[in-house]
Amino acid sequence: MSATVKKMKSVSTMPRLVANDNGYADHKLAWLDSDGRIMTAKIPACIQAGGQGLASADGKRIGAYEVDGVEYTCSAGVTTPMRLRNSDYPTSIANRVLFNHALARTGLLGMPIKAAVTLPFRDYFREDGSINEGLKDACRTNFEAGGVNVLGCEAQPLVQSVGVYAEALSAWFDWAFEDDGSLSVGYQEMCDSNGQVLVVDIGGSTSDLASLQMVNETYEGEMVINHSKSGTEKVGVLDAKAKLEELIREAMEKEGVTGMAGHGESFPAHWLDRVLSTGKGALAGRQWDFTSERDSACRAVAERINSFIKTVVGNPAMYMAIIVVGGGAIVFQDYLKSTLPNAVFKDEFANARGVLKFMRSQEQG
């Protein structure tokens, strides 16, 4: 990804540009609609090998896909989800199926797609700052392989090409560009002062730090990466969910709901997301208040993230701006404010939007 920013021109609508921040917990999509507006959607990364018999009330199959004779089910309601939190995820069939599931859920089947996907910062870049071309190419090859048949649907995926971009760095492009393609005030200030910006990207399984500085030695300026103050830690929203699930089981067991302390089946993903967001949920015939358990789980993970930031970055006050993005920007905001009092907390679509804005700028030259 070139670090030189160009001002964007009018939007080209064919093929449709689609950016996919393909996380372990959710796939976040950003795309341009027919009028050139940026649209976003989040699809849970819940996939099960084999059919589960999910169907709508009118008998249509839901979330059913087939690759090389193997059937997969993608739905927040799957009962035995595949474990995705491993190093092979970026190049896995499961990841490719989930991407196509996201296209199906957002009405993007049956139209030509020029796609982009993301890799965690330290997967995309090596410690010395060079790009991991082998993994980048393998990731691109996986998504360009296609071969995903959407069962029970006439429209099928038409992905023409796939680019691969770095998370956290992509969120910087979301910060640097406004939705209409103009350059942000923050970007202009960064250029004028050779300023430093820190991106903290808290995802499902990883947290990325990208320490960026504008070197204004050319007319347009160039953004450079300080890799000694950047990196990836394997901690994120999924750790909070795992801890929360453990605490919920203990709390319900204490209230006389038997059989909760063991492993058993996982709580439905959408239900656990609701508890993580609101602290409350209905289960076993009653309404529960798990606010204390939610706060305990989030605080424990936020402390790990705080420690990671302090260890790698040092004093965050040295940055002109700190941008916190990803699903964790929402989940951990209240627990990170004390460490990052001057931070701007954006949403979980920052990486996908940033990639889309960059793709659009390159399309228009």
Give 149-178 pLDDT, tens digit per residue.
999 889 999 999 999 999 999 999 999 998
Q: Using an 8 Å Cβ cutoff, are 266 and 81 in contact?
A: yes
The residue among 160, 24, 177, 178 whose CA lies nearest residue 90 is 24
Instruction: Return d(Cα 71, Cα 89) in angstroms, integer.
Output: 18
Structural domains in the chain, sorted by start: 16-170+352-364 (3.30.420.40), 185-235+305-348 (3.30.420.40), 237-297 (no CATH)
Residue 130 makes CB contacts below 8 A (sequence gap 6+) with none
Instruction: Return d(Cα 329, Cα 68) in angstroms, integer.
Output: 38
**Count of other CB atoms within 10 angstroms of residue 56:** 9
By residue count, the chain amounts to 365
Helix (H) / strand (E) containing 193: helix 185-193
The predicted model scores a pTM of 0.85
Instruction: Return d(Cα 60, Cα 300) in angstroms, integer.
Output: 43
In tens, the pLDDT along 13-63 reads 479 999 999 988 899 999 999 888 999 999 999 999 987 666 777 777 789
- What pLDDT score does 210 carry? 95
- What pLDDT score does 365 carry? 64
**Helices 237-254 and 291-313, interaxial angle, to 10°?**
150
Burial of 258 (0-12, 13-18, 19+ CB in 10 A): exposed
- Whole-angstrom CA distances from 141 to 59, 144, 170, 352 are 35, 5, 21, 20
**Count of other CB atoms within 10 angstroms of residue 286:** 9
Q: For residue 268, name the pLDDT band (cuts at 50, 70, 90).
A: confident
Residue 171 makes CB contacts below 8 A (sequence gap 6+) with 199, 201, 210, 323, 325, 326, 346, 350, 351, 354
Structure tokens at 278: 């609101």
Q: Report the mean per-residue pLDDT for the chain.
A: 89
- Whole-angstrom CA distances from 307 to 235, 297, 301 are 11, 16, 10
**3-class SS at 265?**
coil
